[in-house]
Structure 1
Amino acid sequence: MTFRLNKSILLAAVIAACSIPAYNANAGGTITFGEDKYVSVGFGMRGSFTGSNAPNGGTSDTNDFNLDSARLYLSGSVNKYIKGMLNTEKSGGNSTFQVIDGNVQIEVLPELTIWAGRFLSPSDRANLAGPYYSLGGGYWASVASRYGYNGGYIGRDDGVALVGTLLDGKLGYSFGAFEGNNAYKLSGLTLGTRTGSDELMYAGRLQYDFWDAEPGYYGTGNYLGAKDILAIGIAGRTQGGGAYSLTKTGDYNSYSVDFLLEKKDVGPGAISIEAAYYDYDNDDVFLSEQGKAYSAAAGYIFNEKVGWGQFQPFVRWQKFQADSSVDTKKYDLGTAYIIDGYNAQVSGFYSNTEVTASKDINAINVAMQFQF
């Protein structure tokens, strides 16, 4: 397979690298109304350029700028026990904003909070981290971790969950019940009408941190050298009648195991290694979304700044073995330039995507991310 790195790709890479202003932003601004009463507002965006060889049997290469994501953030607090958030998203080819998070969090005990509304249901680390808080940026694991792609409102669902920690914050747990009727909302699959009872989807996650404890429910895929992490998480979800097409209805079940290791002071920087395994089952309703998947990634962030930020080279790999006998494999190789954590960063990487009986897609990607 021959891949042409044409002049337009080089030009876009130079423009993206040279036109970044010196930001020192903190995501969100806060207005306080008294003790434990506040409203915080912010916004974020991810944009990219991709140059690739002709996909799907096309005759010409593609060169595309894209606004991958634009989000508005709003959160607030009634008192020290009751908080809430409202986040919207414009993503990909979607020309309108949609509500992805609209929920309240009620702290019953320091170790137990009730989440209710629309939010990320318990799942794997990649889905909980999302496109803004992962190694190298973007929702890179979407081939293997299919919750963001097939999870409804960008991985979100309507429901209620118990979220908390035990053992001095080392054991994190989340268990909940959700509407579950959006499992394949973004997949492009042909849905019919669910037959039988309208059953809820039940989802849960357990995670143990052997070294530093990780705060918060919405996770982080990489700590950029700020923590020593050794964590293992398991997650699962199930719904009777959760998979349905025009001709068939079946139960939906999935589970995953994920691992993250990050260690500071390894030579001149910090190393990170992550991996995950997935099993998806929908009673043979959609063979293209049923099967096993794997992902792995490694990164190294240098402590010393070069100009505004730090370099973090990375490699990422993932594979989905569908029961339709179609395998999808993808790997990325590149580097991120971390200007201000997850508030300001730029990445550039080469990617190769291979699908059974299809033409490989080779691409050069340049992406930027800013949050205010």
Structure 2
Amino acid sequence: MKNLNRYALHTAVIMACGLGAQLANAGATISFGEDKYISAGFGFITSYSSVEDAAANGKDRSNDFVLDSARLYLSGSFNKYIKGMLNTEKSGGGSDVGSNVEVIDANVQFQLTPEVAIWAGRFLSPSDRSNMAGPYYSMGGGYWNGIASRYGWNGGVIGRDEGVAMVTSFLEDHLAVSFGAFEGDNIFRFSGVGAQSEAAGSKDKLMYAGRVQYDFWDAEPGYYGTGSYFGAKDILAIGIAGRYKQDGVVSGLGTVGDYTSYSVDFLLEKKDVGPGTFSVEAAYYDYDTDNAILAEQGKAYSAAVGYLFQQEIGWGKFKPFIRYQKFDADGTTTAATNVRTSADTKQYEIGASYVIAPYNAMITATYGKTDYSAASDTNFVKVALQMQF
């Protein structure tokens, strides 16, 4: 009975957290019997932003309301061993220009044992915490960490890929290990350097990806992650992730190279620190394109510090934070002159979230500055509303 209860707990956590934590509060569940059901929900992030010199005349501030994200969530269960999900997203790199609705998750999970599952279909391949959490579950919410963690926008269909992976959890969910093989043919989809093209002379190789994470304090069950527990847990976790694809880079000049990346991420979140919960996260990334695309090769860094006040004010609680990210690219190459130029990018942000319901109802305001070594710096103000039902 103890093992059966533990198995049921695993299954419940995987469906709530493992599915990207996207169905934390599903809108409706229709049951067809024991362990047979279909759940549905939806979520969106909409924002107002004002960016320096971004108006059409090139010298005034822009003023824009944007639907950054809109998702439909579906999940189902045949029995306690076989689950599945189908999720969609308004795509297009966060812009309405060229946007459409795409399937971002369509997969099945075979729970072989309480500790071991096989995922197959389209889903997030193992990567850093920021990408596994996504915009809905990052510190501050509504946040695309696209400068340092380049998998989210650049790694296929908003970080997703077609493939198969083994997802495991040991030591009472304190040790998580995942590894899989994926198509990996859209690594630079939104980066501006062009998608992969295996027909351009490269070999048809698979991309291999893996992640190992250890939780020293409270455990984090589930495959997809989160950037904050809002005082529900004490977290001290370190994760290491890596990806490799032979001939995974095809530049616009026809240069073919191997793609390799790895990252190390850290999260500390401690409740009851003074009148609230203190959190800090950091990550280091190394991207290697075999010198085929210098603009996507280099080292990156990110860090964030936040504090959630437990005292409710009105409907919710306030969580101020600061964020920093940098991508130190090896440079870009001008085709006409074959000359390398610098392409470093830094971004600083300070803001606060008003948390009405963790993950599901949040308003976040930020002020930030983006420094480009190859272009003029800009500052921006952004207010985002995040809702999930």
Q: Say whether the fold is shared (TM-score over 0.5).
A: yes
Does 2:271 match 1:264?
yes
1:1-372 matches, within 5 Å, as 26-55=25-54, 58-91=58-91, 92=94, 93=96, 94-191=98-195, 193-246=199-252, 247-324=254-331, 325-372=342-389
Distance 1:357 1:117 in 2: 39
Distance 1:102 1:347 in 2: 30
Distance 1:40 1:189 in 2: 38
Q: C-alpha displacement at 1:357, in angstroms?
A: 3.5
Q: What RMSD over aligned residues (CA atoms) do the two structures have, in Å?
A: 1.4
Q: C-alpha displacement at 1:36, in angstroms?
A: 0.3
Does the 8 Å CA contact 2:266/2:282 hold for their aligned counterparts?
A: yes
Does the 8 Å CA contact 1:231/1:261 hold for their aligned counterparts?
A: yes
Q: Which runs of 5+ in 1 are unaligned?
A: 1-24
Amino acid at match of 2:297: Q
Amino acid at match of 2:236: L
The one-character-per-residue Cα deviations of 1:147-168 (angstroms, maximum 9, x if unpaired) are 0121010000000000010111
Does the 8 Å CA contact 2:126/2:241 hold for their aligned counterparts?
A: yes
SS of structure 2 residue aligned to 1:128: helix
Q: More displaced, 124-133 or 55-64?
A: 55-64
Q: C-alpha displacement at 1:196, in angstroms?
A: 4.1
Does the 8 Å CA contact 2:105/2:123 hold for their aligned counterparts?
A: yes
Equivalent residue for 1:3? none
TM-score (norm 2): 0.87
SS of structure 1 residue aligned to 2:131: helix
Distance 1:185 1:330 in 2: 22
CA 357–250 in structure 1, closer or farther in 2 if over 3 Å, else same: closer
The one-character-per-residue Cα deviations of 1:263-282 (angstroms, maximum 9, x if unpaired) are 01000000000000000001
Q: C-alpha displacement at 1:245, in angstroms?
A: 1.9
Equivalent residue for 1:13? none
Does the 8 Å CA contact 1:55/1:359 hold for their aligned counterparts?
A: no
Q: C-alpha displacement at 1:27, in angstroms?
A: 3.6
Does the 8 Å CA contact 1:55/1:360 hold for their aligned counterparts?
A: no
Amino acid at match of 2:67: L
Q: C-alpha displacement at 1:262, in angstroms?
A: 0.3
Amino acid at match of 2:89: E
Q: C-alpha displacement at 1:291, in angstroms?
A: 0.2
The one-character-per-residue Cα deviations of 1:194-229 (angstroms, maximum 9, x if unpaired) are 424200000000000000000110101111111100
SS of structure 2 residue aligned to 1:219: coil
Q: Which runs of 5+ in 2 are unaligned?
A: 1-23, 332-341
SS of structure 1 residue aligned to 2:153: helix
Does the 8 Å CA contact 1:27/1:343 hold for their aligned counterparts?
A: no
Amino acid at match of 2:220: E
Does the 8 Å CA contact 2:188/2:194 hold for their aligned counterparts?
A: no
SS of structure 2 residue aligned to 1:348: strand
Equivalent residue for 1:22? none
Does the 8 Å CA contact 1:194/1:241 hold for their aligned counterparts?
A: no
Amino acid at match of 1:223: Y
Identity of aligned residues (%): 63
Distance 2:364 2:26 in 1: 19
Equivalent residue for 2:10? none
Q: C-alpha displacement at 1:186, in angstroms?
A: 1.7
SS of structure 2 residue aligned to 1:126: helix
Distance 2:26 2:354 in 1: 18
Amino acid at match of 2:80: K
SS of structure 1 residue aligned to 2:130: helix
Distance 1:194 1:122 in 2: 27
SS of structure 2 residue aligned to 1:358: coil
Does the 8 Å CA contact 2:26/2:39 hold for their aligned counterparts?
A: no
The one-character-per-residue Cα deviations of 1:310-356 (angstroms, maximum 9, x if unpaired) are 00000000000000021100011010000011110001110110000
Amino acid at match of 1:345: M
Does the 8 Å CA contact 1:152/1:182 hold for their aligned counterparts?
A: yes
Distance 1:196 1:272 in 2: 44
Distance 1:151 1:59 in 2: 33
Q: C-alpha displacement at 1:144, in angstroms?
A: 0.2
